[in-house]
Amino acid sequence: MEETLWLKFSGTIRNNGYKVVGLEYGIERDAYILFYEMFKRLNPGLKVVDVSDIIYEMRMIKDRCEIEAIKRAGEIASRVMEKLWI
């Protein structure tokens, strides 16, 4: 399944004639290197640029649904902690 996803993703890039793509250079260095090497093998000649700063900035902005989910998760975590400490 993962292999099919890679092929579809690479096919979409080639079929649309993309020359440059953005890639988030993740914190998990080993996973990133594996992904990057496989990606480059499937897409020779494609320029890959680091878009980490853009992604990090976008993650700081939350919409109403995300804020509500964060609040709900906090409430659940709080109740769990109360049960654990009784």
The residue-averaged pLDDT of 18-22 equals: 90
More confident of the two residues 49 and 72: 72
As a residue count, the chain comes to: 86
Summary mean pLDDT of the chain: 84
Q: How far apart are CA 50 and CA 52, in angstroms?
A: 6
CA angle 67, 28, 11 (to 5 degrees): 90
